[in-house]
Structure 1
Amino acid sequence: MGFKETRGLFIATWIAGAGLAGCGPTLEPEPGDEATGAGQQALTEGAPLTTHDASCLRLQDQGTWSTYASYMTGVGPALGLPAILQDLNRAGPVLTATTHPPAVGYKGGFRWNDGDMATTEWIPQALTAGVSGSSNVAIASWHYAPTTAPEKGVRISVADISDMSLSAVNYRHLLLVLPTGSGNFTVVPEHGGGLAWYGNYLYMADTSDGLRVFDLTQIRQVSTSTTCETAIGKVGAEWCAYGYKYVLPQVSAYVVPSTITSPCRPKFSFLGKDTRGTTPVVLSGEYCNNTGTSCPYDGSTPGLGGRLYRWPVDSTTYRLQTVSGVVAPERAYIMNEPNVQGVAPIMTTTATTSYWLSSTRYSGALFKVSTSASRTAYLSGSGQWARMPEGMHATGSGTNLWTVTEGYNGTTDPAAGGRVVFFVDQASVD
């Protein structure tokens, strides 16, 4: 896709020749790591981050940037995010002293409207945030839960969080789509477990293969007719997206070549955004536990081998930095934590060796982790954090830490585990 066959063969051969002997704990810490011999530590829950050798891993740019954008021209004019912010059609009540979940340093938040709080078809997963014009914007992903056809893939919620003193936050759902040919598209059949927003690009975790990229300047309006409520793509003279008014198309992807296999080949469960250091990065991490969801590298302790990768971003184009279409991770760690669902950088330090991890361990936890110290834990069972937290976003100013929850045990009460988006004071959990 986007590569000539001979070039793709060269890259695949070069990657295979790099060897798969790495991807284990490295015996020497990388320059700048705070802990001497961090890579020698065993996989112990709550232990410091372990430096990881990721020299075997690469991502390959699919190179469909212009092709996929051209496929969408027949659907209608391209719309940017500012146009969507003028057409938000749902209201999520702002949380109050009696409706917000317990969380150390709590500052504010909102819940979804009644229908979105109660639906069993869609489940919140990831969160990222940024600025569009004069508006502060949060973007959350939802994965489609039913196992019966049709598959609807992933939707995102665009929410205007500019003024959290109002009574409600306005938002709208958009359906993510994959262009399939000139003037046509289909759903994106993924979990939507991670998001990271850079420039006009929205990165999404592709669990098995890498990162998908969506262009926020390429949003298209489609039909909301009765016919379109049960259809996707071009139907007669209409373009449909299961009743959604807007679609956000994929423009390219960064994938792990098929020549890279386990244990080098990771899962892409969640994403984060880190602007510390000289180069901004997309963070990607693996969810694993000690029962049904293991990770490719778990050492001798199942559930603790989830890895965290740093993928460098070009600060001009906001695409990943590539050499001959190939991206190498800047650095990698083993998290020594189970059930990790999200990551955010600790913005009160310029060191890139410390993070917050969002986990559904203990029904909900926030872990502060680094290469130099055992974790600090904020647990839902102790009234320190919300239940079932997922994706996170740390504001670059070092002020707020945002998170989204997927909902606990079907409750619609936001204070007792219902679906919420909220933020806390970064300094309170640092």
Structure 2
Amino acid sequence: MQHRGRHRRRKRGRAVRAFLAGTALALTAAATMISASQATVAENPGALKPLTSPAETAGLRLQEDRTPPRMLDRLAEAMGRPVGVSAVLDGADRTLVEAADCTRTERKSLPVAPDAGRAYCWDPADTAAPDWRPASVTTSGDADDDGSWGRHRVILAGWTHSTTTGSVADRGLARVAFIDADDPERLAYSWVLLVVPTADGRDYRGLVSPVSGMVWYRNKLLVTTTAGGAEALYVYDVDRIHRTTADTPAIGRVPGGWSARGYRYVMPAVGSYRFPAGRCSATGSPCPGALSLDRGSAPDSLAVSEWTPADSDRHARLWRYPLSADPAGGGPLATDPAGRVDAVEAYETRAAGIRGVLTQHRPGDARTTWYVGYPAGSLDGRSSLWRQDTDGANAARCGSEATRHCWTKGMGSLSYAAGTGEVWSLSDRMLFSVPLASIDSSTE
């Protein structure tokens, strides 16, 4: 039986590779039929322009705002002792499906080049309605440099509900899939709803915001938000996940217990980092878009990209914040005595609509290498992935010079797992990983 299982997996792998190879050939053939005037090649975003003057970087400053401990303690006393990540994983009631058993439409959302090393589609219970969409990803490789959280390897995927379709009560809500990734052939997950304490810790409400970026560092989870009409990074604590006790359509305290629209777990925000300069603008505060962790910098740092409309003429900014070296601190960002956080590095890129960002530092090279995902182009609705630095930019190609729109449909954020050398990301339908070495080869 064991040998037959391995043979079946090899057949599945060959089937997926054959499917993607066929897609690549089709894309290449189509590209050759499109005239140069139709511009299937994305505009090159060019070399990164360093932003060094105070006037250029002042708008990137953050101000830490911690939720008062009494609020969190009061909520914990009322809801009961928090549960750990292991308890959430042990109760997983959803299963991810290996790519070979996914539908053709789902597999078509994967990158054409470079090939996905591992790929999974979501449990049908979560894809039956189109109103929820995945957008951000992080792993226990971000949380701890040994790649595990406790006894588990874990992947977190952030989903956001549409603000215009589906149930009115669900619109804009954010949830996180806690995925048990110990067995690559059987990934299982549970949902945790993101909430915000209210009424001085006597209640909570759902977080209503797109979660386009997410990073897990130590026991803290950072997510991008536009909650309350102000751009910020919200902070969550994976040691403060609570069980709900009532299954009702409400979110918060209900007669007889605590509810979260049917979700079994909630995670309340423990703080935020806000932009004192106010609402996002071209010269002031940015709209934070994608996030990722950089463990190759000293100290560890948070890479951030600015969200701008894909059809905008505004050039987006890319920057990094230092992470705190104190594991006992409130963190996770390194603040000055006044709770302020300044960018340690910032650039402007000649592009808009960024969907994913990742940074790497290579031995002997003082420059930061940025991997940046841009929106879909005209060919087959695919996005493009570029490698950029202060010298220039190169894109992953679909096996020819004809097109650089080789990445996913509905691109999500990027997360690098150093222990395995994989970059995890999302399409609008699938979770997948690509070896970083393959991305580098494709962009050379």
Q: What TM-score does the superposition give when structure 2 sets the normalisation length?
A: 0.76
Q: 1:71 to 1:45 in 2, by over 3 A?
A: farther
Determine if contact 2:310/2:375 at 8 Å carries over to the other structure. no
Q: Among residues 426, 430, 436, which one is paired with 1:420 in the alignment?
A: 430
Report if aligned partners of 2:120, 2:431 keep a CA contact under 8 Å in 1. Answer: yes
- CA shift, 1:97, in A, is 8.9
Does 1:360 find its partner at 2:360? no
Q: CA deviation at 1:359?
A: 2.4
Gaps of 5+ in 2: 1-42, 141-147
Structure 1 CA distance for aligned equivalents of residues 152 and 86 of structure 2: 9
Asked whether the 8 Å contact 2:278–2:285 carries over to 1, the reply is no
Q: Which residue of 1 aligns with 2:98?
A: 94
Q: Counterparts of 1:126-137 in structure 2 under 5 Å?
A: 126-130=136-140, 131-137=148-154
- State percent identity of aligned pairs: 24
Match of 1:82 among 58, 80, 86: 86
| 240 and 282 in structure 1: CA distance in 2 versus 1, 3 angstrom threshold | same
For 2:72, the equivalent position in structure 1 comes to 69
**Runs in 1 of length 4+ with deviation above 4 angstroms?**
97-100, 258-261, 347-352, 379-383
Change (3 A) 1:261 1:124: closer
Change beyond 3 A, Cα 1:224–1:256? same
Cα deviations across residues 320-339 of structure 1 (Å, max 9, x unaligned)?
11111111111111122332
Quote the Cα distance in structure 1 between the aligned partners of 2:128 and 2:114.
Answer: 26
| Contact 1:347–1:394 (CA under 8 A) maintained in structure 2 | no
Following superposition, the deviation at residue 278 of structure 1 comes to: 1.0
Partner of 1:236: 255
**Cα shift readout 1:295-334 (whole Å, capped 9, x = no counterpart):** xxxxxxx04x111121111122351111111111111111
Residue type of the alignment partner of 2:244: V
Matching residue's letter, 2:233: L
Aligned to 1:403: 425
Corresponding letter in the other structure for 2:275: V
Separation of aligned partners in 2, 1:249 and 1:256: 21
The residue aligned with 1:221 is: 243
Residues 357, 414 of structure 2: 8 Å contact kept: yes
Answer whether contact 1:179 1:185 (CA < 8 A) is retained. yes
The answer for the alignment partner of 1:252 in structure 2 is 271
Whether contact under 8 Å (1:274, 1:345) holds in the other structure is yes
**Any conservation in 2 of the 1:59–1:256 contact (CA below 8 Å)?**
yes
C-alpha contact (below 8 Å) 1:45/1:338 kept by paired residues: no
2:297 is aligned with 1:265: no
Corresponding residue of 1:60: 63
**Could you tell me how far 1:47 is from its partner in structure 2?**
0.1
Segment drifting more, 87-96 vs 394-403: 394-403
- 1:276-304 superposed Cα distances (whole Å, 9 cap, x missing partner): 1211111221122453xx4xxxxxxx04x
Whether 1:47 and 2:46 are equivalent positions in the alignment is yes
The offset of 1:352, in angstroms, is 5.3
Q: Would the alpha carbon gap of residues 259 and 222 (structure 1) be closer, same or farther in structure 2, given more than 3 Å must change?
A: closer
Over 3 Å counting, the alpha-carbon distance change for 1:269 and 1:373 in structure 2 is same
CA shift, 1:422, in A, is 0.6
How many equivalent pairs are there? Answer: 360
> Hey, what does 1:409 align to over in structure 2?
none
What are the within-5 Å matches in structure 2 for residues 340-379 of structure 1? 340-346=354-360, 351=366, 353-362=368-377, 363-378=382-397
Superposition deviation, residue 50 in structure 1? 1.4
Offset of residue 383 of structure 1: 7.8
* 1:373–1:423 Cα change, 3 Å: same
- Cα distance in 2 for residues equivalent to 1:86 and 1:52: 46
Change beyond 3 A, Cα 1:420–1:332? same
Structure 1 residues 87 and 261, CA, compared in 2 at 3 Å: closer, same or farther? closer
1:357 touches 1:368 (CA, 8 Å); kept in 2? Answer: yes
Range that drifts further, 203-212 or 193-202: 203-212
1:28 corresponds to which residue?
none
User: Taking structure 1 as reference, are residues 199 and 420 closer, same or farther at Cα in structure 2, changes over 3 Å only?
Assistant: same
Aligned counterpart, 1:120: 130
Q: CA deviation at 1:213?
A: 0.2
Cα shift at 1:115:
2.5
Matches within 5 A, 1:3-14: none
What SS class does the counterpart of residue 386 from structure 2 fall into? strand
TM-aligned CA distance change 1:244 to 1:382, over 3 Å: same
1:136-215 matches, cutoff 5 A: 136-147=153-164, 149-150=168-169, 151=171, 153-164=173-184, 166=185, 168-180=186-198, 181-207=200-226, 208-215=230-237
Q: Is the 8 A contact 1:71 1:184 kept in 2?
A: no
- Distance in 2 between residues matched to 1:259 and 1:185, nearest whole Å: 25
Cα distance in 1 for residues equivalent to 2:236 and 2:326 = 17
How far apart are 1:224 and its partner, in Å? 4.3
Find the aligned partners of 1:116 and 1:103 in 2 and give their Cα distance: 27
What's the secondary structure of 1:429's corresponding residue? helix
Q: Match of 2:32?
A: none
Aligned twin of 2:13:
none
C-alpha separation in 1, matches of 2:367 and 2:256 = 51
Normalised TM-score (structure 1): 0.78
What's the offset of the Cα at 1:401? Answer: 0.9
Asked whether the 8 Å contact 1:390–1:403 carries over to 2, the reply is yes
Give a deviation string over 1:204-248, Cα, whole Å, max 9, x none: 0124422100000000000242xx1x1010011211101100001
Quote the offset at 1:152 in angstroms: 5.6
Structure 1 gaps, min length 5: 1-43, 295-301, 407-418
Provide the alpha-carbon RMSD of the alignment: 2.4
Provide closer, same or farther for how the CA distance between residues 160 and 79 of structure 1 changes in structure 2, counting only shifts above 3 A. Answer: same
By how many angstroms is 1:141 displaced?
0.8
| Aligned AA (2:354) | V
Counterpart-to-counterpart distance in 2, 1:192 and 1:173: 15
Higher helix share: 2
